Amino acid sequence: MNGQRTIGAEAVVIGGGIVGCASAYYLARRGVKVALIEKATIGGEASGRNGGGVRQQCRDRRERPFAIASVKLWEGLPAELGFDIEYVRGGNIRMATNDARMELLRREGAEELEDGLQVEMWDRDELRRRAPYLGEVFIGAKYCATDGAANPILVTKAFGWAAQRLGATILTRTEVVGISIEGARVASVTGRDKDGELVVEAPWVINAAGPWSAALSHAIGVEVPVEPARSVIAIVQRCAPLFREFISSHDLGVYARQAREGQVHVGGTNVPAHTFDQRAPADVLEHLARGAAEMIPALRGANFLRSWAGTLEMTPDKVPILGHVDGVKGYILATGFSGHGFCLGPIAGKLVSELVVDGAPSLSLHEFRLARFA
Amino acid sequence: MTEQVEIAVVGAGPGGLCAALAAAQTGAQVALIDNNRNPGGQYYRQTARGFRGEPSSHQREGAALLQQVIAAGARIIAETNVWGAFDDKVLALNDGAATTYLQARAIILATGAYDRPVAFPGWTLPGAMTAGAVQTLLKEQRILPGKRFLLAGMGPLQLVLAAELARAGAQVVAVLEGSRVFPRVLEHAGALWGQWARLSEGLSSWLTLARHRIPYRAGWGIVAAEGAKQVEQATIARLDENWRPIRGSEEKIACDTIALGYGFIPFNTLSRLLGAKQEWRPELGGEVPMRDAQMQTSASGVYAVGDCAGIGGAALARIEGQIAGIASAAQLGHGTADAIPARASALARERRFQQMYAALFTPGAGLYELSQDDTILCRCEEITQADVRRALALGADTTNEVKLITRGGMGDCQGRMCAHLIANFIARETGRSVAQVGILPPRPPIFPIPITALGVTR
């Protein structure tokens, strides 16, 4: 097709992950005419390739109020989005295999209670009683009952569908080729799909492109310090219901949750490799297999069925970049979630909508400003 | 730990055995990996130890070939899955107890094919199974999975299976051939020249069918299977040239087992994992790796032979195996490629036969239109055609997107059964080709591997 197509909007979101889709959804809900541009498919990257944990505990203190606020939003999502996203508040257990880890958890727990998050410390006996499926290796744990998990593939898509129902334009398989600035303000985003180029004109541009946000931002002279990182998940074939909590051990370097259909998803807590390569390496699969067998001995008879990898975007301090950018009016960064974007996605999207519509967000974004890295 | 080998051959059917033999005879160091206890693949499938019975001529031929391979110095690694392929030609092996890694300088893939699944009302009833499964039970353990067999499918292998079943004492109620083979085979008669072994086997099977008065119905196909707890009868119908049932021609036929032999799908997962470019060739069974004249794929040093590179049968696999064995060894400095041209005429003869086979026995579109909305397309996850339809209504337009929304393709079969059924349904609903709709990306482990075994490295 020849000729350039132009779409007029009030805000354009780049990236169809959970942060982008939630932004589009909350913007559309506030009556903003929004378009979302996604290079491939909705939820096709890290948003649909993560462990599915929706967790408030064990977070950086700067992030904690956001996680708590997000979980409040999560509660209403199944009804609001009109889709069964398999959200379950099954609790979150962070285990320890040694006293030093236990002490870290204890200190963190005290801080969490101070910040208004209810958590419990479990000693060995309590852990055996509450989570008898866990391996003998653990000496205790911290537990947060209001944490949970959801189906990561469906949540992001459900946000996209809901946004669409509210009038948002979702452009998939459309690669962003440039962001235009006029004066000191964003003016439009140019994308390319199979039919050629199209321009979305809007006074607000939200960059929620995760690992790809840095390159897009660099083109308009805004440096975003995020690095790609590969996160691998392996799937244990369907088995009888074993546990409902989201469980993790940084000592073993693994986390797991059992999906509603019975498959157990096993991921790694180690610092992942900095690469865009999405093939799962053999040594990582081995590590996940060993970790799963030690963490949940009942899985020893089960099979790994498949694996996949996704690309996270890591900031130097592992907390997000969210908010306006000095010098470029109308440009909002919602990126750098460092593997925490799934839980935080809904609140991030809501805050984006507040930045655009109200001018001021309901939670201070000071800690998440880009300038902290300057 | 990673072991080194010059040439790794994956799959010990006719193609793999011949590749390993040709390579080992040049002095190259060869490892031949197979997931069965007894090498041989489906064609040479050996009777399992402890089961009595006179070996067939195929079984004797396969056993002799294996002895030659061993005598030539190739190392046989049996009962071992190749569950992944990684950079620098590293294969991940697992024997159920531990993982080992094998790094090869050249890899010859001879992983064969699997039966093409066909979904129709009742196809998940006990008693409806693939022809390959029936044959495996028969060859390996001398088991007859039923008493009254209906064979529905296409191609000469059905005749062979019918004859084997009849000789084993089963009743074969009918053989349904989807293709209207008889007028059309004459157009291709030239391709039969030189196929004396095939013609002789065909004739012998034919005589067995006649002796047992087994009806052979060309231009007929399965429409549905019915039964309370298992197959009790089948609905069959005459097919038009696109393999669509002709209304009014339906008949009921009593049977307890339906063997579905609608051809094969190349098992190309390893060549995909190794980065070999693929092309969509419906007449060769579906997606296959592109190859040069020496059977090398676009991934340097990765060769593919036999059915995993396009359905062509055992004779073609043997020749392709020999060529890849010689070529890969020559590339590593063992022997020369001079012996390859001598295989050109045999290769051309088998390719002619392959073309004839494809012209006669590529199923028509109607084969994928038998399923109804309540028919299960993904049996592991129990996903029906209606579930897939709902995903399409939500905007999914590829097999992978449908998988993400419905779970169809996420189960124990790892997509081998369902991905093609779902892809064909999407293609038909969206008016695109299966190639455009895509099949599922390979996600290691490509076979289910016990986590205890995957976590142990030897």
Q: Please state the domain extents for chain A.
A: 5-48+154-226+317-373, 90-145+227-314
Give pLDDT tens digits for B44-62. 988 888 877 788 888 999 9
In eight-state DSSP terms, residue B13 is S
Residue-level pLDDT at A3: 64
Contact B445 A307 (CB under 8 A): yes
Contact A282 B90 (CB under 8 A): yes
Say whether domain A5-48+154-226+317-373 belongs to CATH 3.40.50.880.
no
pLDDT at A271 over 90: no
**pLDDT grade for A7, boundaries at 50, 70 and 90:** very high
Burial letters for B346-380: b for 16+ Cβ neighbours within 10 Å, e otherwise? bbebbbbbbebbbebbbbbebbbbbbeeebbbbbb
In eight-state DSSP terms, residue B188 is G
> Which amino acid is present at B17?
L
CA distance B103 to B91: 6
Superfamily of domain B117-262: FAD/NAD(P)-binding domain (3.50.50.60)
CA distance B337 to B339: 5
pLDDT at B458 over 90: no
In eight-state DSSP terms, residue A262 is S
The pLDDT mean for chain A works out to 96
CA distance B454 to chain A (A): 6
The pLDDT mean for chain B works out to 94
Q: Which residues is B264 bridged to in the sheet?
A: B115
CA distance A47 to chain B (A): 12
Q: DSSP 3-state assignment of B44?
A: coil
Q: DSSP 3-state assignment of B119?
A: coil
In this complex, the residue of A237, A286, A307 whose CB is nearest that of residue B412 is A237
CA distance B145 to B138: 8
Phi, psi of B48 (to 5 degrees): -65, 150
ipTM of the complex: 0.93
Contact A304 B448 (CB under 8 A): yes
Task: Give the torsion sign (CA, B32, B36, B42, B48).
Answer: positive
List of chain B residues whose C-beta atoms are within 8 Å of the C-beta of residue A154: 405
The CA angle A34-A40-A46, to the nearest 5 degrees, is 90
Give the DSSP H or E segment for B252: strand B251-254
Contact A161 B381 (CB under 8 A): no
In this complex, the residue of A286, A292, A306 whose CB is nearest that of residue B443 is A306
| Long-range own/partner contacts, residues B26-29 (CB < 8 A, 24 or more apart) | B26/B325, B26/B326, B26/B329, B26/B330, B26/B334, B26/B335, B27/B329, B27/B334, B27/B335, B28/B328, B28/B329, B28/B332, B28/B334, B28/B335, B29/B5, B29/B73
CA distance B101 to chain A (A): 9
CATH for B2-114+265-339 is 3.50.50.60
List of chain B residues whose C-beta atoms are within 8 Å of the C-beta of residue A285: 84, 444-445, 454
Q: How many percent of chain B have pLDDT more than 90?
A: 83
Give pLDDT tens digits for B80-135. 999 999 999 999 999 989 999 999 999 999 999 999 999 999 999 999 999 999 99
Q: DSSP 3-state assignment of B395?
A: coil
CA distance B69 to A233: 40
pLDDT at B423 over 50: yes
> Which amino acid is present at B116?
R
Q: Which residues is A144 bridged to in the sheet?
A: A92
Residue-level pLDDT at A47: 93
pLDDT at A1 over 60: no
Domain map (residue ranges) of chain B: 2-114+265-339, 117-262, 371-437
Q: Are A272 and A224 a contacting pair, CB within 8 Å? A: no
ω into A225 cis (within 30 of 0): no
CATH class of A90-145+227-314: alpha beta
Residue-level pLDDT at A2: 52
pTM for the predicted model, two decimal places: 0.94
Q: Which residues is B3 bridged to in the sheet?
A: B102
Nearest CA among A275, A276, A266 for reference residue A303: A266
CATH for B371-437 is 1.10.10.1100
**pLDDT grade for B314, boundaries at 50, 70 and 90:** very high
Nearest CA among A150, A148, A142, A149 for reference residue A93: A142
Contact B405 A41 (CB under 8 A): no
Contact A306 B414 (CB under 8 A): yes
Question: Are the folds of B117-262 and B371-437 the same?
Answer: no
Question: What is the rounded average pLDDT of the residues A174-194?
Answer: 96
Which residues 6+ apart lie within 8 Å of A126 measured at CB? A140
pLDDT at A51 over 80: yes
